[in-house]
Structure 1
Amino acid sequence: MRNIRFNVSGEIFYIPLDILRKHPTTTLGNAQSLIKFYDPARDEYFLDRHRPTFWLIYDYYMTGVLERSEEVPLRVIVDELKFYSLEADVINDFLMSECILAKEPMSNIQTRTKFKRILSELICLQKHDESDSFSRSWEKYRQRFIRYFNILIVVCATIGFIVDSGFSSEYEEKSESADRNLKRLEFLFGIWFSIQLFGEFVITQKFGTFDKLIFLINIISLQASIQYLVINTWFESSENKVFLRVINFLRGWRVLLLERFCRNLRHLLISIYETKFMIGQVIIIILFTSVIIGTFVYSFGT
C-alpha cells in the first residue's frame, strides 16, 4: 500500500493512497487540486496550514471521525475545513455536534418547552468545551463545570462498581449499611444515566446528531443498573451469583462513557470495532489451540 507524504508546516504525515481515493471531493483526495502543493525535490506535498488542525483532518481520514480538540479554537477549525473541502454532510454533522448548526428553524426551537431547551443545553455543554478566546468567560466556566461534573459521575459510578464487586467476593461479607448505601448510589447513578439517555433523544431532534456509541453504552449501563437493583432488592443474592456477575460485568461498561472526553479512548474503541472480525478470528484460534493443547496434555498424562 503506497503512502502519500504530507509536510504540514514542518510536520510530516503519511496517509495511504487508498484512503485518499475514498474521498475524491476533498482537497487531499482530488489529484488535480493536490498537484499544486507537490514538491518534486522532496517528493512530498507541502501545506502551509495550521498543524494542530491537520491532526484532526488526519484522524478523520484514518478513522472516519471528525472531532475537535480542546486546544484548537473553533474559528480556526472552520477555516481549515473550508480549505480541505471535506464532505458537506461531514461538516454539517460536525457543526451540529458542536451545537452551532441546528437541524430545525430557530422558531421551532423556541417553541419547545423550557425543560427540553435546558436539557438540550446541558447535553450540548457536555459535548462541547469552547476554547475560543473570544467566547465569554462565564460560559466557558459553566461548560467546564458541567463537563467535569459528568466525568466525576462516571468515575464515581465506576468506583462504586469496583467496591461493590469487591464486597461481593466469597471471602468478604457486605454489611447492611454498606449494602444500603451502595444501592442508593446505584439508584442515583441510574437516574443520571437515564437523564443522559433521554437527553440524547432530545438533542437528536434538535440538532440531528446522535452518538450511537454513547447511546449503546448508556442502554447497557442503565439496564444493568435496573436489573442489579431489582435482584438485590427482591431476590436473594446467593441464588443469583452467576447472573449478578454478568450484570456487574455490564455495569463496568459505564467507564467507556469517558470516551466522550478522551479522544484516544474513542480512537481505541473505533479501532477495535473496525477490526472486530480479525479479533474474533484470533479469539477462535486461541480457543481452538487451548482445546488441542488441553486434550494433548490430558491424553499424555493419562
Structure 2
Amino acid sequence: MNFIISNPMDAGQHHSYFHLSPNVGGFQDVRDHKRSHSGSSFQPSIHASEAPPQEEEIRLLEQEPDGSVCKLDGISEGNHKYNSVLAECTRTVINISGLRFETQLKTLNRLPSTLLGNEEKRKKYWDPVRKEYFFDRHRPSFPAILYYYQSGGRLKRPLEVPLDIFLEELEFYELGRVTIDMYKESEGMIFEEQPWDMPDNSLNKLWILFEHPNSSIPARIIGIVSVVLIMLSVVVFCLETLPVFKPSCFFTVKHNDSGETESFSYTDYTNWMFICESVCIAWFVLEFVVRMISCPSKIMFWKSIVNWIDLAAIVPYFVIFGMSLTNQTCLASNKSGLLQVVRVLRVVRIFKLAKHSQGLKILGKTLQLSISELNTFLIFFAIGVVVFSTMVYFADKGESESYFTSIPDAFWWAVITMTTVGYGDEYPVGIAGKLVGGLCALSGLLAISLPVPVIVTNFNNIYKNTTGRGRET
C-alpha cells in the first residue's frame, strides 16, 4: 500500500512517499518531512496514489539555505560513478533491524570521525540490493543518535532506553570519547581520570600516589593515613570545647616595674591536643604541597574546589599559631570574633573525606545535577517567606500580644513554618494570623515536595551507575 504525503503549503515543490510494507517487527515507516531546525513543521495530508513513480524515476529539486539547488537523480552511494557534489544532497536510507530512516548524506557527513559520517567506515554496512545501510542494532536508540547529527551535537537518551544499552550504541556508532564522557557526566556517572594515561615520570607518580587512592597498595596506605588524621583532627576540634579539657594554655603571674602583679597566659606546646593538631596539620601541609608540585596542570589544580577546601583546612592553624607567637599570649581561650571565625574554618577538614568516600561523591554529584531544581526551590521558598511574613505582620498588627514588630522580624517565623519545624517561639495570636499560618505551612509542604522526586531520581541513577546496585527508574 503506497501513499503520497504532500504539504499544502509547498504545493508543487515537495512530495514524499509514505510506504507501508510488511517487514521485520511490523510495518516500515519512511517519511520525508520538510522540517526546519527551528522546530516548525507542517501537518501532512495523506491521499492515495494510483501509480506512484518507481525509485529510479524520482526527480526532486531541493532548495538549499544558501540559495543553491541540489538535483537528486536517484544517485546511490553504492554506484561508484556518482557525482560527489550531487551525492552530498542525496538521500540515503538507514535500516536499523527493520526500521528504516531516511536522511541526507550531508547530514551524516557533518561528523566525519563517526561511523555514519565516514564513508569508509559505513560502506561495509551497505546493502547493494536494497540500496540502503543495514545495522542489526537497537532500534529505539537510533532516533536520538540520528538527531545528534541533525542538531549538530545535541544528545538526549530516550526515556524507554536503559542507560547501559544506550552507551553501547554510542560506542558502536563511534560518537567520540569526549561526547560519551560528557554524556556520562550528565547522567551522573562518576569516573576518575585514568592515571596510566599520563606520562611516566617521577612527578606524575607522586600525583597518582596522592590523588588516586585506589591506584596501588602504597596509594591506599596513604589514603588510609589521610582519613585517620582527618578524623583525628575533627575529634580533637570537638573535644576542645568540652569543659573537662582545658585549653592548651598555662597561666603565670609576674610583677611589673611598678610592683603590681599581672597574669599572663602562654600556649602550652606540650598539651596532647596541641600535639595532635600539629601532627595532623604537618601531614595536611605535606600532602597539599606534594599534590601542588606534582599536579599535571597548575591551572586546573587551583580551579578545583577540593584543593581550596584543603587550603582552608590548613590556614587557621598557622593564623592562630602566628598570632600567638607575635602577641606572646595564648589565643586558645580568646573569645574575639575574628578568632572564632578562624576556628570555625577548621571544621571544613571533614570535607576532605569526599576524596576518599564514594558516598560523599555521590551526594555531591546529586546536588550538582539537581542544582536547577534546588534553585527553583530556593526562589519559591524566598518568595513564600517574604509574602507570608508581610501577611502575618499586617494580620496580627492590631493584636496587643503580637510577636511580630516588623516584617523582617517575621522572616524567622515564616522560615520555621514553611519548613514545618515550628519552634513555637513566635506564632500568630489572631484569627487572621492563624489562617495565614496555615496557608504558610501548606505552601511550605508544597515547596519542599516539588523538587524531592527529581533529586531522589538523580541520586538513584548516580548510585546505580556508580555502584552497579539500585532500582531501575
Measured against the shorter chain, the TM-score band is 0.5 to 0.7
| Unaligned segments of structure 1, at least 5 residues | 1-23, 51-55, 69-93, 110-116, 132-139
Measured after TM superposition, the shift of residue 215 of structure 1 is 0.7
Measured after TM superposition, the shift of residue 150 of structure 1 is 1.4
Q: Residue 126 and residue 237 in structure 1: after superposition, are their counterparts in 2 closer, same or farther (change >3 A)?
A: closer
**Secondary structure at the residue paired with 2:404?**
helix
State the match for 1:199 in structure 2: 290
State the match for 1:255 in structure 2: 350
Q: Residue 200 and residue 284 in structure 1: after superposition, are their counterparts in 2 closer, same or farther (change >3 A)?
A: farther
State the match for 1:265 in structure 2: 360
Residues 231 and 237 in structure 1, CA contact (< 8 A), matched pair in contact too: no
The CA deviation string for residues 206-258 of structure 1, in whole angstroms up to 9 with x for no partner, is 79963712211111111122223334554444544432332222111111111
Q: Give 2:161's match in structure 1, choosing from 3, 24, 44.
A: 44
**Which protein has the larger Cα radius of gyration, Structure 1 or Structure 2?**
2
Measured after TM superposition, the shift of residue 144 of structure 1 is 2.2
Residues 210 and 222 in structure 2, CA contact (< 8 A), matched pair in contact too: yes
State the match for 2:227 in structure 1: 151
Residues 221 and 254 in structure 1, CA contact (< 8 A), matched pair in contact too: yes
State the match for 2:403 in structure 1: 297
Larger RCO (alpha carbons 8 Å, 6+ apart): 1
Residues 123 and 196 in structure 1, CA contact (< 8 A), matched pair in contact too: no
The structure with more helix, counted as a fraction of residues: 1
Task: Read off the aligned partner of 2:191 and give its amino acid letter.
Answer: E
The CA deviation string for residues 14-49 of structure 1, in whole angstroms up to 9 with x for no partner, is xxxxxxxxxx9999xx9x9x9932359x95357398
Q: Please, what TM-score do these two structures have when normalized by structure 1?
A: 0.53
Residues 172-181 or 264-273, more deviating = 172-181
- The 5 A counterparts of 1:80-229 are 94-95=193-194, 99-102=195-198, 106=200, 109=201, 117=202, 121-130=205-214, 140-164=216-240, 166-167=241-242, 173-174=246-247, 176=249, 180-205=271-296, 210=301, 212-229=304-321
Aligned length: 216
Measured after TM superposition, the shift of residue 265 of structure 1 is 0.8
Residues 247 and 332 in structure 2, CA contact (< 8 A), matched pair in contact too: no
**Secondary structure at the residue paired with 2:196?**
coil
**Secondary structure at the residue paired with 1:44?**
coil
Q: 2:112 and 2:360 mapped to 1: Cα distance?
A: 29
Residues 207 and 295 in structure 2, CA contact (< 8 A), matched pair in contact too: no
Q: Residue 146 and residue 60 in structure 1: after superposition, are their counterparts in 2 closer, same or farther (change >3 A)?
A: same
Q: Give 1:61's match in structure 2, choosing from 186, 189, 197.
A: 186
The structure with more strand, counted as a fraction of residues: 2
Residues 205-214 or 142-151, more deviating = 205-214
Measured after TM superposition, the shift of residue 66 of structure 1 is 4.1
Task: Read off the aligned partner of 1:196 and give its amino acid letter.
Answer: E
Q: Residue 49 and residue 298 in structure 1: after superposition, are their counterparts in 2 closer, same or farther (change >3 A)?
A: closer
Task: Read off the aligned partner of 2:238 and give its amino acid letter.
Answer: I
User: Superposition RMSD on alpha carbons, in Å?
Assistant: 4.6
Residues 248 and 274 in structure 2, CA contact (< 8 A), matched pair in contact too: no
Q: 2:379 and 2:286 mapped to 1: Cα distance?
A: 38
Q: 2:307 and 2:218 mapped to 1: Cα distance?
A: 24
Measured after TM superposition, the shift of residue 189 of structure 1 is 2.0
Residues 248 and 332 in structure 2, CA contact (< 8 A), matched pair in contact too: no
Q: 2:305 and 2:139 mapped to 1: Cα distance?
A: 39
State the match for 2:415 in structure 1: none
Measured after TM superposition, the shift of residue 282 of structure 1 is 6.8
Measured after TM superposition, the shift of residue 199 of structure 1 is 1.9
Q: Please, what TM-score do these two structures have when normalized by structure 2?
A: 0.36
Q: 2:359 and 2:113 mapped to 1: Cα distance?
A: 25
Q: 2:388 and 2:338 mapped to 1: Cα distance?
A: 26
Q: 2:226 and 2:213 mapped to 1: Cα distance?
A: 13
Q: 2:377 and 2:344 mapped to 1: Cα distance?
A: 20
| Unaligned segments of structure 2, at least 5 residues | 1-110, 118-132, 142-158, 169-180, 250-267, 406-427, 430-473
Q: 1:244 and 1:25 mapped to 2: Cα distance?
A: 61
